[in-house]
Amino acid sequence: MSTATPAEITPDYVQRLTGRGRRFESTVRSPCWGGEYSAEDYAQDLAAVAQRPSETLSLYVHIPFCAGRCLYCGCNTTVTHDSERMDAYLDTLDREMAMVAERINGDRDVLQVHLAGGTPNYLSEAQLTRLTEMLERRFHIVPDTECSMECDPRRTSAGQLELLHALGFRSIGFGVQDLDPDVQRAIGRIQSEELIRDVYWMARDIGFDSIGFDLIYGLPQQSAATFERTLDTVLELAPDRVACFGYARKTLDGPHQHAIDVHELPDNAERERLFRAAVAAFTQAGYTWIGLDTFALETDDLALAQAEGRLHRNCIGYTATPSAHLAGLGAGAIGELRGTCVQNQPDLQTWQQEVDAGRIPVDRGHKLSDLDRRRRDAISHLICNLELPHEMADGCLDDEYRRLAAYAGDGLVEALPHGLRVTEAGRFFLRELCTEHDAYFHWDRARWHFSPSE
């Protein structure tokens, strides 16, 4: 078990650091990748992957539909109540899967399948069954494939959970966000504590291997007292892992966020105190603090992987079983193949038109240079292992290494014979420390930053 005693927070730390790496409100759009990466380029990369059958593959499937729009949301999603529209989406998704599988050699074992959105469990039971059958028909899904899915508790039932378990899903995550009624009204997401308890125990009784909760701090109407009550309830239930994200206000890409009164948001110092309260609560209860914002029981795969030095993070989060390639499927889906970051067309109509025309629906991509890879590896090592060895600078990142080392004066890193290590105080500013190596990648919240209008 690892525990963390929150270091003393000072206004100077918050003022000097959080304004750079942790953007609470974005007034400019993130830099976008070049548009020169085409469907033909992606097809060539898929063909090259097919020539390396020993390299592992994971799949990320994006379901961009919700019954309603939560006011804090920054994801690529569409509000609809038309089941036929979702059926049509699956029709197109099946054709996209066929194109990708044909080029990538769908016979290789798939390590992981992750469904996100949107609200994947907004699909009907028949649609969820069909989607699973599509994946099994197009790709080699084996009994050992780790299948996980994000779920909205308000759209969850015992029958749905039993079906998902029967379909092979063993890891499930629920969007809890906050349990205070006033906070829920302010963010447009009403879900009672009783509902969360019922859904959690249904999933536990059915036998899911891993149950996760998502929490958000920095929401309107949120205070230390209300957040403490949410934390107490979550700890009582004891999910296997908890992700605790900070609310990111991006009104340029999500104008619906204007419905949240900015004057009701906690200020920077209060946000820090909320997160520190979460760290203290979870670590004192026996959870391992994983990297940036995740907490896992000692028996969870992520905690075991971190202890053994084999924890990784890709564009959809932390993982104990990384793959050489991640293929994104669906409108707006993201992935990485052969060192190229790729995003599908996020606009539903454009995505469908591309597939109907027989083209892989790529919107943009970025082929990592050697320097990009080194920066990414340095960031990954920092957020997974909380250290940066000398050899990872290796002449190419010497300036970044020196800037990172300068934080020793603030007590955020310490110099060791083999490199730099993040201190307990520095863990609370890990995002900011990583910005010294972040040329233009927003590596920690891929699905938020890869939005259609960037």
**Residue 219 Ramachandran class (φ > 0 left, ψ -120 to 50 alpha, else beta):** beta
Does 254 fall in a domain? yes
Q: How many CA atoms lie within 13 A of 450 on its CB side?
A: 28
Q: Strands across the sheet with 413-416, in order?
A: 387-389, 419-422, 413-416
Does 231 fall in a domain? yes
Does 352 fall in a domain? no
- SS3 label, residue 399: helix
Domain hosting residue 130, numbered range? 30-328
Instruction: Return d(Cα 406, Cα 399) in angstroms, integer.
Output: 11
Nearest to 388 by CA among 414, 362, 409: 414
How high is the pLDDT of residue 317?
85
Beta bridge partners of 288: 296
Instruction: Return d(Cα 148, Cα 152) in angstroms, integer.
Output: 14
Does 45 fall in a domain? yes
How high is the pLDDT of residue 295?
97
Please give the model's pTM, rounded to 2 decimal places.
Answer: 0.89
| Main-chain phi, psi angles of 213, to 5 degrees | -120, 145
Does 230 fall in a domain? yes
Tokens coding 274? 């909320």
Instruction: Return d(Cα 337, Cα 361) in angstroms, integer.
Output: 15
Strands annotated E in 36-159: 57-63, 65-66, 78-79, 110-117, 146-151
Does 419 fall in a domain? no
- What is the distance of C-alpha 292 from the center of its chain? 11
Q: What is the residue type of 303?
A: A
Does 89 fall in a domain? yes
Q: What is the residue type of 190?
A: I
Does 135 fall in a domain? yes
Give the number of domains in the chain: 1
How high is the pLDDT of residue 20?
44
In the chain (454 residues long), the average pLDDT of successive 10-residue segments reads 46 57 43 73 94 94 95 89 97 98 90 95 98 97 95 97 98 97 96 98 98 97 97 98 91 82 90 94 96 93 89 86 94 91 94 96 89 86 88 82 88 92 90 71 35 30
CATH number at residue 108: 3.80.30.20
- SS3 label, residue 276: helix
